[in-house]
Structure 1
């Protein structure tokens, strides 16, 4: 399956995932979905949205190999993802009291598991997408392909990571409570997620590339993410801007995906003329990187 066909489905209304409020203001209508902002706590989210069961179908069926929604051939940018994960590990490592067992939620092709293993961590993961799950099993990793709410563990974890995952979790409060229970005392939770107060959002507004309402259910700000953490016994150790390693071919692909064809052609020409295909850099993508510690 190269593209997941989206059938007709019934939309469901939900209260604010942070404060439970029922009053909100509509920000945008995108792809037939409303992006709203809670009038009480300012959390932004999709409402109404599709059911949890259909969401799991989206994530299980070639999510990392589709041009629409998801990622476009995730493995083709493996070198960039690995460099990004190596940087993120350097950022979080000083906060880890124990180098024991780590759980990566939404581990995709396992690049961060590879990085952790290189640094002598015992690693496990959760990945729903069938092809990625099979790949991880072939690589010898201990992986679950069940949604987080059904995940069972025989021990706690010294480190849990969710990179570009939290915005997908359909049962946010339940899932966060589960994650907190899985952390050992003084354990670390590291998260990256799109920031709706970022410069990128302020510039592009409704054209912000993170608005993917089929799968991105929530759009956090630093304050709403901090409140969620505190509600579940987690203290903010670090909260800062986040990005990823990029190169010009990757930027060209993103520009084409979002309709900036003339600029994409210009950059492609520059790459060919000056041989810049291997040039890469760490760029702010308008996300938040946060390190949380479980407190007693």
Structure 2
């Protein structure tokens, strides 16, 4: 069942224009519309599957973060790159907090990042709605993983909260950001990684750009709109950082969606150019890490 979003999640404006129509290449092969708010420009999938129906759109072994599959060249590349990025993520959280404190990873998938952080000395907790992914995460981390965001960790606060490519999946967007504000310590940091539709690779592949990933991706962020969204909930942006590997991975998937066959050389070149353009254009990379903290009073 599809639900219509009547107002912009960022600015509450009630009028939109059509932005682009994309196909679900992973599971259903259905087409979904992405609209743009006429006031702030925020992009979101509308209409979209409701919270009780969205689960079936994740039922694919191709959804690597939930299955840990290594079938196929793209999946193998994903796993090799993940080994590097997991260590980079731990280096990042170590640079943002003065001790090995309490870490919460929201949408932790199969728990690979949590386990890497735990081995580095962090006290780790996770949240993962997918039953299969959560089971794998608990086996890997030997830690109990919560299943729902808004009801989890009622009396706890954390030094670092991460959402690696998760915020774009959350139905209750504003409620979730309020929850983040209540769960982060006053000196803590919230780390949000999301795709950036203003990147060069998005402009190349257009409706075939894999990071639109409809209908699983409910929202499509730019640097301006995510900053505005978090500011409305009491956060300020500390800095943003690139996720340079994403341009290559997304370009490989996008080339397959576009033509039916992965163009590895073309995808590599587009990923390389996307990073070059992003570097010259104020970090407008394929995916961006945003680091937020509570506004100083």
On whether the aligned pair clears a TM of 0.5, the verdict is: yes
**1:74 paired residue number:** 68
- C-alpha displacement of 1:253: 6.5
Q: Secondary structure at the match of 1:142?
A: coil
**1:95 paired residue number:** 96
**2:48 paired residue number:** 49
Structure 1: give runs of 5+ residues left out of the alignment. 1-8, 268-280
**1:242 paired residue number:** 243
Q: 1:54 to 1:227 in 2, by over 3 A?
A: same
Residues 4-25 of structure 1 deviation map (CA, whole Å, 9 limit, x = unaligned): xxxxx23323311101111111
Q: 1:144 aligns with which of 143, 146, 165?
A: 146
Q: Is the CA contact (8 Å cut-off) linking 1:24 and 1:39 kept in structure 2?
A: yes
**2:5 paired residue number:** 13
Residues 213-249 of structure 1 deviation map (CA, whole Å, 9 limit, x = unaligned): 211010100011111121122221111322337999x
**1:198 paired residue number:** 199
Residue 180 (structure 1) aligned with residue 181 (structure 2): yes
**2:86 paired residue number:** 85
CA distance in 2 between partners of 1:50 and 1:20 (Å): 20
- C-alpha displacement of 1:181: 0.6
**2:108 paired residue number:** 107
Quote the RMSD (CA, aligned, Å).
Answer: 2.8
Q: Is the CA contact (8 Å cut-off) linking 2:66 and 2:109 kept in structure 1?
A: no
Residues 110-163 of structure 1 deviation map (CA, whole Å, 9 limit, x = unaligned): 1111221122110000112222211222231120122x1232333100000000
CA distance in 2 between partners of 1:25 and 1:217 (Å): 16
Structure 2: give runs of 5+ residues left out of the alignment. 24-30, 71-77, 267-271, 276-284
CA distance in 2 between partners of 1:221 and 1:253 (Å): 21
Q: 1:260 to 1:57 in 2, by over 3 A?
A: closer
Q: TM-score when scaled to structure 1? A: 0.80
Q: 2:21 aligns with which of 21, 25, 29?
A: 29
- C-alpha displacement of 1:287: 0.8
CA distance in 2 between partners of 1:260 and 1:185 (Å): 49
Q: Is the CA contact (8 Å cut-off) linking 2:237 and 2:291 kept in structure 1?
A: yes
Aligned residues: 266
- C-alpha displacement of 1:179: 1.0
Q: Is the CA contact (8 Å cut-off) linking 1:92 and 1:291 kept in structure 2?
A: no
Q: Is the CA contact (8 Å cut-off) linking 1:99 and 1:158 kept in structure 2?
A: no
